[in-house]
Amino acid sequence: MALTAAVTPAGDRLDVEIANAGPEPVRFSTATMLGSAAFELADAAGRPVPLGPPPLPPSDLEAGLVTLAPGESTTLRFRRAELLPDGPPAGPHRLRFAAGAPPLAGAWSGRLESPWVELRP
């Protein structure tokens, strides 16, 4: 797949860079890449840790359409408080972006996962 994702913790937010590493333009929707529904959190033993409540799905999936030319990227920004409304859990944890692009005519659809990153309080 041509799309890659990388998470960068940045203070009270998480930045997710989605890049097109392929030779052709890629069109996809970010409409369902929202809040806690777009991430996975695991404790030091690899057990899943629940995140905050998922956001309501959007009514218009085409509103989030993005086209990335080869080598281009886009950044999605999330507030930590959206994902962890009770604050960060105690102890070491890992987090990754793991979201799906919905199937739309003429657009790529599928799951996009970043490498795991250490999440520090």
Tell which wins on pLDDT, 87 or 78: 78
* Pair 85, 32: CB distance under 8 Å: no
What lies within 8 Å, CB to CB, of 34 at 6+ separation is: 54, 55, 57, 58
Q: Where are the domains of the chain?
A: 3-109
Side-chain-side CA neighbours of 117 within 13 Å: the count stands at 18
State residue 121's pLDDT score: 67
What digits encode the pLDDT tens for the residues 6-36? 999 988 899 999 999 999 999 999 999 998 9
Strand 117-119 versus strand 73-79 pairing type? unpaired
Architecture, CATH, for domain 3-109: Sandwich (2.60)
User: pLDDT tier at 1 (50, 70, 90 boundaries)?
Assistant: low
Residue indicated by tokens 């999440």: 119
Strand 65-68 versus strand 73-79 pairing type? unpaired
State residue 118's pLDDT score: 92
Q: Which of 60, 69, 80, 59 is nearest to 16 (CA)?
A: 80
What digits encode the pLDDT tens for the residues 32-81? 999 899 999 999 899 999 998 888 878 888 888 999 999 999 999 999 98
State residue 54's pLDDT score: 85
pTM above 0.85, yes or no: yes
What lies within 8 Å, CB to CB, of 7 at 6+ separation is: 14, 15, 16, 95, 96, 97, 114, 115, 117
